[in-house]
Amino acid sequence: MRLRLIVNPVATGVTELLVADVADTLRQVADVEVALTERAGHARELAASEGADVLVAMGGDGTANEVVNGVPPAVATGFLPAGATSVFARQLGYPNEPRRAARMLAGAVASGSTRPVGLGVLNGRRFTFSAGLGIDAEAMRLVEEARALRADATRPSDLRVVLAALRVLRGDRFTLPARMTVRAKGASFRSSYLAVANQHPYTYLGRYGIRAAPRAGFDTALDLVVVGELRRRDLWRLPVYGLVWPRHATRVDARAGYLHDTSDAVVESDVPMAVQLDGEYLGRFERVEIGYEPGAITVHVPPGGRRAVR
């Protein structure tokens, strides 16, 4: 079996020693080719190249996103956490420690433990776990700008992301005006912020999972959290629903709607709206089409894990 290990060498947790250790672990079950990315978009090119039976992405969620957008239909995939957050690998049941995760992945490859995973699609680009339009995407824009100024190009801490979101709120005088129209499931909603989830948790803040879309899962289509206009006195919903009590997912809330198992949606914005995919800032758009691709990829998952399907 030919396995291509696609590594982002500037990801937060990647070192030469780690790459060597992970490659040695995977060589116990396959012929391993190590391919280091050199620029943005390179992981997608490496994934699309012929010659591999299994593609393993090692880096952050940006690396995973590129791989799922390049993987050929008949090639299986694996994901190892080595970024600042590594949401997708953790959602698949892997621990947030790359050497331990590599041992589990080797076991999955050896035993043929795989499952199909559906993916979201936004304007033709796949995403693994989430997309966001509005405040979180604007925060990621600020984070990416800060990252570009760092000599080592590593991602700023979660605290920096939170501070970036506060900067966005301050720019609108600590309100979230409704500037988008979301159309889904035969209805239309005015929205200030849209969160689209493929799995729970939506993302992580350190060790804590963000509970924005607690009903999301790989066995259903996408879950949408449609946040309406929030005035200053309404902003408590963002931290409380995200971290403590996701009431909006099971009860009617005048400010935060919840659409479970949604296969498609269209978003039109009054002004160009910031968009993020899998924690990476994508740009600003006035129109976004969101879809769901069931069984988009075949993924090696931990043998015997609760999400494993043989």
Indicate if the pLDDT at residue 155 is higher than 90. no
Whole-model pTM: value is: 0.93
Confidence at 143, pLDDT banded by 50, 70, 90: confident
For the chain, domains (ranges, CATH) are 2-112 (3.40.50.10330), 126-292 (2.60.200.40)
How far, in Å, CA of 162 to CA of 83, rounded? 18
Place of tokens 């969620």: 61
DSSP E strands in the chain: the ranges are 2-7, 31-36, 54-59, 76-81, 114-122, 125-127, 130-133, 180-184, 187-191, 193-197, 204-205, 208-209, 222-227, 256-262, 264-277, 280-300
Indicate if the pLDDT at residue 308 is higher than 50. no
Report yes or no: 271 and 81 within 8 Å, Cβ to Cβ.
no
Would you say the C-alpha torsion 207, 213, 217, 218 has a positive or negative sign? negative
Indicate if the pLDDT at residue 158 is higher than 50. yes
Confidence at 161, pLDDT banded by 50, 70, 90: confident
Confidence at 154, pLDDT banded by 50, 70, 90: low
